[in-house]
Amino acid sequence: MPIALVVHGGAWDIPDDQVEAHHAGCQAALKVGWQLLRQGASALDVCEASLRVMEDDPIFDAGIGSVLTTAGTVELDAAVMDGTTLRYGAVANLRRIRNPISLARKVLEGPATMLVGEGAEQFAIDHEIPLIENHELIVERERALWEAWKASGAVLHHGQPRNIQQIADPPYASEVGGHDTVGVIALDQHGNLVAANSTGGTLFKLPGRIGDTALIGAGLYADSQIGAAVCTGWGESITRVALARRAIDLLERGLAPQSAAESAIRSLARQPLGGSGGCILLAPNGQIGMAWNTRRMAYAYQVEG
Ligand code: ASP
C-alpha cells in the first residue's frame, strides 16, 4: 500500500507577489506531514499536523492571517473526516481558537459531528485547548484591506477600485487576494484515507456565514474504500452542488481521479450556478486528481515511489 499526501493552499487568483509564499507554505506543510507519514503515523495525525502548519502561516486564509468579516472580525471553520470509520468532526464560526483543525479532531473523537460558536469554544475549554482574543488572529495586511473598504466602500485591485458588491460577487471575489483556504488528504500505510480543511472563509463575509469548508459532502469527504476529496473556492457554489461527494460518486462509478476532479469542477461551473473553485482527489491506490477553474491553485504532493 503506497503512502501519499497532498496539501493545498486555496484556488483563487493568488497575486503574483504571493505565489512564492504559497509554494513555500504548501511545501512546509507537506514536509512536516510526509516525515510523520514515513515514520508510520496515522493519516489522522498527519492531516492535523500538516494543517496546523498552514493555519500558523499568515499567508493562508486559515487560522492567523484569515480574511475579515464585514464586522472586521475573524471567524474560522474547519473539519476532518476519517475514511475508514466514516467519523467526521467539524467546527464553525470560531472567533477564539488558534488552530481550529485540532478542535475539529477533538469533535471527531467525541459524540457530536459539528459544533459551532460558543458551544464549540466551551468544548475547547473542556479539552484544554486555550482560547485567544480575536484580534490575535488578525494580521496587518487584512486589517488594512478592511479599513480601506470601510473608509471608501472600495478596495484597490490591480490598481482599479472595486466596491463591496463586486468583491462579494464572483468573479471579483476570486480576484482579490487572500482567499486561501487550506486542505489536506493523507493515505497512511494501513490504507486509511483522511481529508481535512480549514478556512477563514470569504473576504468580507457576513458574520455568522459558513461556507463549504466545514460541511461534509461539500468541502470534504473521505471513504477509504473509494477515495477522498477536499474542495476550495466560492463556498456558496460548492455547497449547492455538494462538490466533494459528487467527486467521490464519480470515483465510485469508475472514473480515474483526474477525470473525476475535472468532471466535478465542470459541474460546479455549469449554469445557472457559475461556481468557481478547485477540487483535489486521492484514491486508495495513491493516484491523485486535481482540477480548478480559478486562475491559480496552490498545492504540493508526494506519493511513495
Ligand atoms: N471555500 C471557502 C469558503 O467559501 C473559501 C475558500 O476556499 O477559499 O468559505
- The verdict on whether omega for the bond into residue 272 sits within 30 degrees of 0, i.e. cis, is yes
**Domain assignment of residue 114, yes or no:** yes
Is the CB of 212 inside a 6 Å radius of any atom of ligand 1?
yes
Q: What is the 3-state secondary structure (H, E, C) of 35-63?
A: HHHHCCCCHHHHHHHHHHHHHCCCCCCCC
Identify the CATH number of the domain in which residue 139 sits.
3.60.20.30
Q: Which residues participate in catalysis according to the annotation?
A: 181
Q: In which band, very low, low, confident or very high, does the pLDDT at 149 lie, cut at 50, 70 and 90?
A: confident
- Per-residue pLDDT at 32 exceeds 80: yes
Ligand 1 atom nearest to 77, measured from its CA:
9
Whether residue 1 lies inside any domain: the answer is no
Question: pTM for this one?
Answer: 0.93
As a whole number of angstroms, the longest Cα–Cα distance in the chain is: 56
Residue with grid cell 484514491, as numbered in its chain? 283
What is the β-pairing status of strands 88-94 and 114-116?
parallel
Tell me the residue range of the domain where 17 lies: 8-303
Does residue 276 have a pLDDT over 50? yes
- Confidence at residue 166, expressed as pLDDT on a 0 to 100 scale: 55
Q: For a ligand 1 pocket test, name from 197, 202, 209, 238 the mutation site with the most ligand atoms within 8 angstroms of its C-beta.
A: 202
Residue 294 covered by a domain: yes
Is pLDDT above 90 for 173?
Answer: no
90 C-alpha to center of ligand 1: Å? Answer: 15
Residue 173 lies in a domain: yes
Domain-located, residue 215: yes
Residue 155: predicted pLDDT? 58
Averaged pLDDT for residues 182-194: 98
**Is the shortest distance between the CB of 232 and ligand 1 below 6 Å?**
yes
Q: What is d(CA 166, CA 71) in angstroms, rounded to the nearest whole number?
A: 18
As a whole-number percent, the residues of the chain with pLDDT over 70 amount to: 91
For residue 3, being part of any structural domain is answered with no
Compute the Cα dihedral for 92, 101, 75, 77 and give only its sign.
negative
Q: What confidence category does residue 1 fall into, taking pLDDT thresholds of 50, 70 and 90?
A: confident
211 lines ligand 1 (CB under 6 A): yes
134 exposure class (CB count in 10 Å sphere: 0-12, 13-18, 19+): middle
Cβ 213 under 6 angstroms from ligand 1: yes
Residue 190 reports pLDDT greater than 80: yes
Give the CA-trace dihedral at 300, 95, 222, 58, to 10 degrees.
0
pLDDT of residue 160: 47
Among the atoms of ligand 1, which is closest to the Cα of residue 235?
4
Q: How many domains does the chain have?
A: 1
170 touches ligand 1 (CB under 6 Å): no
Ligand 1 neighbourhood includes 58 CB (under 6 angstroms)? no
Residue 131 in domain: yes
Amino acid at 60: F
The tens digit of pLDDT for each residue in 93-130 reads 999 999 999 999 999 999 999 999 899 999 999 999 99
**Residue range 165-194: mean pLDDT, rounded:** 74
CA dihedral 106, 109, 111, 113 (to 10 degrees): 70
Residue 305 Cα to ligand 1 midpoint, Å, equals 32
Q: Is the pLDDT of residue 159 over 50?
A: no
- Whether 2 is in a domain gets the answer no
Among the residues of 127-175, which ranges form H helices? 140-152, 164-168, 172-175
Provide the mean pLDDT of the chain. Answer: 92
Nearest partner of 219 among 204, 236, 207, judged by Cα: 236
Rounded distance from Cα 132 to ligand 1 centre (Å): 23
pLDDT score, position 171: 47
pLDDT digits (tens, 9 = 90+) for 218-259: 999 999 999 999 999 999 999 999 999 999 999 999 999 999
For 91, list phi and psi in degrees, rounded to 5.
-135, 150
Confidence of residue 153 (pLDDT cuts 50, 70, 90): low
